[in-house]
Amino acid sequence: MIELKNDNLLFRFPKIHPRAKLRIELQRTLRIPDDGRTYPLPPGLGAFPLRHVDDLGPSVPASWLDHGGVVLPMYQSEALWLYFDSDYIADNDVAYPFAVKIAAGKINAVTGEDWANGLDRDPQDYIVVPEQPWLDGYCVERGTIRQFVAMPLGSGYSAEEQIRGSAEYGGLQIIAYPMKPEVFERRFPRLPEPHESRMYGDFSVGQVCTSPDMGLAPGGAMHQEIYSDPFDIEDWAQDSASRCFVHIANSLVWRAITGEQPPSTPPTAREYTDRGMPWFDYYADADAECADGSTVLRGLQGVAGLGKAKGDNALPENESVAPEKIVQLRRGLGKHQVREGRF
Amino acid sequence: MADSFGNYVRRRRESLRQGDPSFSVRQVAARIGVQPSYLSKVERGDEAPPSEGKIIALAVELDEAPDVLLALADKVSSDLKEAICKRPRLFAELIRELKDLPDHAVLSIVREVRDGKW
């Protein structure tokens, strides 16, 4: 089951384990320059607001209601990243593991393949939480991703349109699989001595705009690794998945359908960097294995390059920057190791 | 109840402090905007739990659920109070109906994000 709680998607699997909970937050961020350089990780600037599509009734396209799920607002050429957090279980001294598959426009963000339910290991088409705390874009090569950047569906920029040649879905698609309970108990046996219990929180659009949907296009490049699954494919409870369609509404459309203001526009990379704000780098152990990246995704054109070819100024304020203040975060994040920029 | 709130906060803070010295009384108090001596008294049960805002700040610091800490302090968050006060008869009846149900039965009535065809 999936709940919407404080603008987070909360995936729960009470039949698998009472603490099998995965929280996914869609983070606002600045758009990194799409200039051929590879940047460190940009900050999180807070969560996007999320609403049930069912609450917006007849004012949203019929396809949104068919897909179900939730909706969030994005400005054209705004960027986002996904933050994953699973519930820490003190008795076993580990956070409950999940396999999570992410797609944009039903194109898998790790492999570039068409959406399919189920997990594949060769090549790995999913990420593993808590090993992978966040995902910022399409995995184009080992250790490099191209940032998720919102562009109007139908304009030809999204990965979906470049790969499939049609603008049909847009948005993000997420499916989560918990580890099988018996595998969890075998791999992470309960600690012999009683530990103090850590109590955690259960824890008519057409009139406004002809293209209410946004798709995610590949933007600038940044360093980010997709870690290989350290478990066995049989360890995942593939018959217990929960999935969600996250629609992306153009910000003007959002105002019309919800009556609410979308968040303000994020700062540009230049404004952020000039104020000495931090960028981030995430280090794994040297022996951590990573995905090689997808040849399909590597062949995509970035928004800036494609815009130039089309004669569009698709990415205004795309100046290169030289981040100087880079915060190093190590794998296995501690309490105060957050990727956040207050601006 | 105040004593139980204080004990709980102290145990949780001390547990975090074992791995991170920034969870001393002084530093946690500074981060939530109270005097260290006051937080210390709250933890010992010599002072009543602080305001809702400070309890929520403390919950964030200690990585705890705000509703859990508020309940330990014998308080209910203001958004819940507001929801109940808007429709008191309906919510009072609902809560009385649900109060003895097991967790999984309560969870089954939580609103889910609907999946569709895609």
Quick one: pLDDT at residue A333?
A: 66
In chain A, which residue's Cα lies nearest the Cα of B13?
A198
Quick one: pLDDT at residue A271?
A: 93
Quick one: pLDDT at residue A206?
A: 39
Mean pLDDT of the B44-64 span: 94
Alpha carbons A76 and A316: distance in angstroms, whole number? 10
Which residues touch A103 (CB under 8 Å, ≥6 apart)? A109, A115, A172, A173, A174
CA B95 to chain centre: 19
Quick one: pLDDT at residue A195?
A: 45
The closest alpha carbon to A99, from A227, A250, A215, belongs to: A227
Contact B55, B69 (CB under 8 A): yes
Quick one: pLDDT at residue A226?
A: 94
- Residue B89's alpha-carbon distances to A98, B76, B85, B99, in angstroms, are 41, 18, 9, 15
In chain A, which residue's Cα lies nearest the Cα of B112?
A3
Contact with chain B for residue A13, Cβ under 8 A:
no
Mean pLDDT of the B27-44 span: 96
In chain A, which residue's Cα lies nearest the Cα of B68?
A201
Mean pLDDT, chain A, whole residue set: 89
Which residues touch A176 (CB under 8 Å, ≥6 apart)? A11, A22, A24, A98, A99, A100, A101, A241, A242, A243
pTM (2 d.p.): 0.79
Confidence band of A202 (pLDDT split at 50, 70, 90): very low
Quick one: pLDDT at residue A223?
A: 94
The encoded tokens of residue B109 equal 């009535």
Residue with tokens 């600038």: A220
Alpha carbons A297 and A306: distance in angstroms, whole number? 15
Contact with chain A for residue B85, Cβ under 8 A:
no
Q: Note whether A66 contacts B22, CB cutoff 8 Å.
A: no
Q: In A, residues 238-297, which contact B (CB 8 Å cutoff)? A: 242-245
Quick one: pLDDT at residue A193?
A: 59
The encoded tokens of residue A155 equal 């304009």
Which letter does DSSP use for residue A273 in this model? H
Which residues touch A265 (CB under 8 Å, ≥6 apart)? A75, A78
Q: Among A133-137, A283-287, A295-299, whose mean pLDDT is lowest?
A: A283-287
Q: Tell me: the pLDDT tens digits for A174-189?
A: 999 999 999 999 999 9
ipTM of the complex in this document: 0.78
Alpha carbons A168 and A150: distance in angstroms, whole number? 15
* Residue A199 neighbours by CB distance under 10 Å: 15
Quick one: pLDDT at residue A209?
A: 43
pLDDT at A214 over 90: yes
Which letter does DSSP use for residue B13 in this model? H
Q: Note whether A106 contacts B118, CB cutoff 8 Å.
A: yes
Contact with chain A for residue B68, Cβ under 8 A:
yes
Q: Tell me: the pLDDT tens digits for A88-107?
A: 887 888 999 999 999 999 99
Alpha carbons A77 and A315: distance in angstroms, whole number? 6
Q: Note whether A245 contacts B115, CB cutoff 8 Å.
A: yes
Residues of chain A with pLDDT > 70: what percent? 91
H/E segment holding residue A23: strand A21-29
A-B C-beta contacts closer than 8 Å = 75
Residue with tokens 């009556």: A259
Strands A172-178 and A51-52: unpaired
Quick one: pLDDT at residue B27?
A: 96
Q: Note whether A335 contacts B112, CB cutoff 8 Å.
A: no
